[in-house]
Structure 1
Amino acid sequence: MTFAKKALIFGSLALLGANSAAFAADRLNGSGATFPADIYTKWFAGLAKSGGPKVNYQSVGSGAGRKAFIDETVSFAASDDPISAKDKAKVSRGVVQIPTVGGTIALGYNYPGCNLKITQKQVVSVFMGSIDDWKELGCKPGKITVVHRSDGSGTTAAFTDSLSTFSKEWTLGSAKSVNWKVGVGGKGNEGVSGVVSTTPGTIGYMSQSFVKGAIKAAAVQNKAGQFVLPGFKSGKAALSGITLDRDLAGGNPNPSASGAYPITTLTYLLLYKTGNGAKTDALKQMVNYMLSDKAQAQADDLGFVPLSEGIQAQAKAAVNKISQ
């Protein structure tokens, strides 16, 4: 083989290797929260269409996403509840936590003929099992079947956090998983909404974006005494009073603002502070796209609440902490 041919072959192999490395750097794998799945799907499709990195996101629940992040089997994770100090200590590469969007957790129910308005105390009684007939909620008689998450869930953490402030009857604590006294389980927001949509007499908690078809959202009494439906305006009122801590975590499980929906939460991305290598630029591009005004403006149409200007600015600044 001539020198020229060898040079051509080695040059082609080098080019192929460089292209493969670039291809790998342009592919990101993430997993976690089901709560923001609808808007993340929209955003990642828009990002790819604009020439940005391709993102493969698996909505497997905040708990599973957190484990994958700790095990370093993903490029990033998503969680509806902020990472705990205990879990953060397990990540040797450091953690950059960034809020991406807000959302309301609806009490979705399937009971034809019922226009449900429910007090905070009644919410707790239903999910504790002490109210088990629809007539006790002002609807026609019938058995109430509670539907809850069966997996570790940031949605559950936010929901039970609110229930802990609603009534002393709630004794199950606030966590991604609790020992439910009543009801049936569904995996992910998809699982809970799937059971509710196909089973009359059921009620469950889910991202507002999953309220569709046979599912209706209950008007929940807020701290100001108003019965409020989940939505853009009520979610925005709830999120307006949130102040983030140094890890960019924040919440208000029972906001006092007029018109605020009482079960509203932020959702977060978890990224590695170091060790991102060739994927660093792609990760930054992904997060910056999600935090852009264009992306945030799409939140309302999908049942979410855009970040306030203050939280958005803090989130954008945190992107610079993502390094190689």
Structure 2
Amino acid sequence: MKTKTSLLILLTALGAIITPLYADAATAPEAPNPNVQYDLTGAGATFPFPLIDLWRVEYNNIYDNVNLNYQSIGSGGGIKQHIEKTVNFAASDAPMKESERELAPGTLHIPESIGGVVLVYNLPEVPNKGLKLTAEDISGIFLGKITKWNDPKIVATNPELNLPDKNIVTAQRSDGSGTTFVFTDYLSVVSPEWHDKVGKGKSVPWPTGLAAAGNEGVARIVKSTEYAIGYVELAYAFQTGMSYASIQNADKSAFIEPSLDSISAASSGAADSLPAAKDSWADVSIVNAPGSNSYPIASFTYLLVYDDLKPVTKNKEQAKAVIHLINWMITDGQEFSSSLLYVPLADKVTKLGQQGLKQITYDGEILWDANASPPSEVTQEIKQQTETETGGCLIATATYGTEMAPQVQLLREIRDNQLMNTASGMSFMTGFNQLYYSFSPFIADMERENPAFKEMVKIGITPLISSLSIMQYAESDSEVLGYGIGVIMMNLGMYLAAPAMLIFGLNKKYRG
């Protein structure tokens, strides 16, 4: 009885922090070891580069021992480096062709975001966003068949505009580009002539026009050349303030301006028909998608990663870090998408990507143990109760900003590996929830509203969490009790005895 009572005291001391952390541990891979420096590499698409670069910064703010070096060299270059196994992962706006997959067996496609390609133009006579174009207009321009801005077809589409009698200058990518793939995929769908004469690809034999590398190269041509038109990704066009056209939708009922909503509409029906990460994605396309509000030139953009990371990583620890980073990108990282005009992934697409990540091995060893033994029915019941009452993590997550923080991961491990494996722990959790959730939402809200209070809480609980790390060595009820009493005594000394002795000493000194 005394043993059980002492254990309950221990669990009460730990419960205020650990109780909220009831997300299934299998939903997140192992976090990077905070004592190891990780240098990860990626290369490829320019299309998602602004988002990947923001992810690099935000992830490093959480895991400052993980540095990502991503080279924005175009989808073609990224796939080349992926095939040559010179980077940990690649990024591409174009899914790999069958011929490319044969050179890189075991490649997984992990959707990372959704973006749009926009047509930017330099027409002094036309206001920003004033130009409208049909599929026939666009294919005619880039086939070199429509050569003047006052061509009858463009005039018919834009009767309200005073279009000039000027030659059209087209601008396109010179490098292997996923943006080019998306644009030419659209042209191949809407124009049989384009499909037969030019086709789709990361590089194509352009019938006419000027070429430059990267979104910035195409933008530079358009900005510096009056009466030019070219294609760039949506975020780049918005960030540089370029004029862009509205494109007629698939059912020809409206001209759609590129936006988060219209690109999201284009992707909304795709989630249920996507292949598994390990299968071919060569035929996946959401261009010219149905729907009155769907922007017609939209696409997924992908991360490419091998299903066995040994050939592209230094060791197993680095391989685990790669998986953790990619999982963060497609989960927590999605909250940064909208600010850069990328559409966040739908939940179904995220889960599809996670299923792929769970297949990844290092020399045949599974790195994300998503098939661990399921919790007992009692554990499940308690977790369901907690999730129903709270909807997620509270104090610890509010303090450290994310459930993926190393401190939160540590608490999860202690919960799952030590506390939740005892009968007393289960009994305690059942009774403690009601008390804990009577005050923890208030504290978490105060942390979110008051940064100074959040820092005070962090200062207060960080030493406690550090001391809890010794609990990882407890493997039985008796060891949980022994280590637990040690943790309690350590924290009593740290939080109560030491301040009391200091106050007593100062009081004695000044009285004397």
TM-score (normalised: structure 1): 0.88
Find the aligned partners of 1:113 and 1:239 in 2 and give their Cα distance. Answer: 34
Aligned residues of 1:107 and 1:206 also touching (Cα < 8 A): yes
Partner of 2:229: helix, strand, or coil? strand
Aligned residues of 1:99 and 1:248 also touching (Cα < 8 A): no
Aligned residues of 2:135 and 2:248 also touching (Cα < 8 A): yes
Offset at 1:205?
A: 1.1
Letter of the 1:270 counterpart: L
Letter of the 1:309 counterpart: D
Instruction: Answer 1 or 2: which has greater strand percent.
Output: 1
Offset at 1:69?
A: 0.8
Question: Is 2:284 aligned against 1:245?
Answer: no
Distance 1:104 1:175, change over 3 A: same
In the alignment, what sits opposite 1:254? 288
Aligned residues of 1:31 and 1:59 also touching (Cα < 8 A): yes
Q: Pairwise mapping of residues 162-173 of structure 1 onto structure 2 (< 5 A)?
A: 162-170=186-194, 171-173=197-199
Aligned residues of 1:96 and 1:321 also touching (Cα < 8 A): no
Over aligned residues, Cα RMSD in angstroms? 1.8
Match of 2:45 among 14, 29, 33: 33
Partner of 2:327: helix, strand, or coil? helix
In the alignment, what sits opposite 1:144? 168
Question: Is 2:145 aligned against 1:106?
Answer: no
Find the aligned partners of 2:191 and 2:304 in 1 and give their Cα distance. Answer: 32
Match of 1:291 among 330, 333, 336: 330
Match of 2:249 among 214, 222, 225: 222
Instruction: Answer 1 or 2: which has greater helix percent.
Output: 2
Q: Pairwise mapping of residues 1-324 of structure 1 onto structure 2 (< 5 A)?
A: 22-23=36-37, 26-51=38-63, 53-91=66-104, 94-114=106-126, 115-136=130-151, 137-138=154-155, 139-170=163-194, 171-212=197-238, 213=240, 215-225=242-252, 226-242=254-270, 243-246=273-276, 247=279, 249=281, 250-274=284-308, 275=310, 276=313, 277-278=315-316, 279-292=318-331, 294-324=332-362
Offset at 1:87?
A: 1.4
Offset at 1:85?
A: 2.1
Percent identity over the alignment is 35
Offset at 1:199?
A: 2.2
Aligned residues of 2:98 and 2:280 also touching (Cα < 8 A): no
In the alignment, what sits opposite 2:506? none
Find the aligned partners of 2:296 and 2:335 in 1 and give their Cα distance. Answer: 23
Offset at 1:287?
A: 0.7
Aligned residues of 1:125 and 1:169 also touching (Cα < 8 A): no
Partner of 2:53: helix, strand, or coil? helix
Find the aligned partners of 1:91 and 1:224 in 2 and give their Cα distance. Answer: 38
Q: Which moved more, 1:77-86 or 1:248-257?
A: 248-257
TM-score (normalised: structure 2): 0.57
Find the aligned partners of 2:241 and 2:57 in 1 and give their Cα distance. Answer: 28
Gap regions ≥5 residues in structure 1:
1-18
Aligned residues of 2:251 and 2:292 also touching (Cα < 8 A): yes
Identify which of structures 1 and 2 has the higher relative contact order when contacts are C-alpha pairs closer than 8 Å and 6+ apart: 1
Find the aligned partners of 2:346 and 2:295 in 1 and give their Cα distance. Answer: 16
Q: Which moved more, 1:221-230 or 1:246-255?
A: 246-255
How many residues align structurally? 301
